[in-house]
Amino acid sequence: MEQLVKTMPFYIVEYVDNKLDTRSPSTLLNYVLDYKLFLEWLIAEGIAKQEQIKDIPLSVLEKLKLIEAQSFIKFLERRNIPINKKETKKAEKVSGNRKISALRSLFKYLTTQTENDEGEPYFYRNVMLKIEVNKVKETLGAHASRISTKIFHNDEDARFLEFVKHDYEKELSEKSRKLIYFKRDKERDFAILSLFLGAASG
């Protein structure tokens, strides 16, 4: 992240610094990668005349036309992503939506949460407000596949309860057992889990 941010324009450096306490490092890293892709696209399309993304001024974002923003979204949806040297795949809509969300967050910051020497936001025109995030409908098969790894199958619930009742305490270190785990806590937790799993299976 630190090395990547050094290649960004000052306003993205400011954005990252502003969001460090409110967004997770992984989210911020993905956002900065999205900004890198966006700025590189601006140069490739001739919308930004600079050679380095670090030099792209705020005015390019301020004056970005709706048709240009829409063209970037189409680029995201239609591009082929390399899997290896021989194979590519189409970008997933979820990934495209995240990139739109990243840009909406940046433009909101620049137009409402910044301040120049005159006490005004860096600019006011937010073209990203006109770009919608398209909801991705999940098929029943995909939904079932996603949750299958998060539920108990066959007698796994019974084996889990046996583990909690008989083996969990053994796996705690002696020090941890004295500090955080008491017999009454184990009995309470076992009762709660039994009730929860019984209700879920019923």
Please tell me the distance from the alpha carbon of residue 173 to that of residue 85, in angstroms, as a whole number.
48
Q: In angstroms, how far is the first alpha carbon of the chain from the final one?
A: 47
Q: What is the mean pLDDT of each run of 10 residues along the chain (202 residues)?
A: 94 96 92 96 97 97 97 88 66 76 96 96 96 65 53 62 65 51 59 62 50
In this prediction, residue 181 carries a pLDDT of 47
DSSP β-bridge partners for residue 88: 82
Q: Given phi > 0 = left and psi -120 to 50 = alpha, else beta, which region is 102? A: alpha
Amino acid identity, position 5: V
Evaluate whether 45 touches 55 at the Cβ level (below 8 Å): no
Total count of residues recorded for the chain: 202
- Look-up of token digits 């610094």: 17
The pTM assigned to this predicted structure is 0.65
Evaluate whether 76 touches 83 at the Cβ level (below 8 Å): no
Please tell me the distance from the alpha carbon of residue 155 to that of residue 102, in angstroms, as a whole number.
43
In this structure, is the dihedral angle defined by the CA atoms of residues 85, 87, 90 and 95, taken in order, positive or negative?
negative
In this prediction, residue 141 carries a pLDDT of 57
Evaluate whether 136 touches 97 at the Cβ level (below 8 Å): yes
DSSP β-bridge partners for residue 90: 80
Evaluate whether 118 touches 128 at the Cβ level (below 8 Å): no
Burial class (CB in 10 A: 0-12, 13-18, 19+), 128: buried
In this prediction, residue 179 carries a pLDDT of 47
In this prediction, residue 78 carries a pLDDT of 86
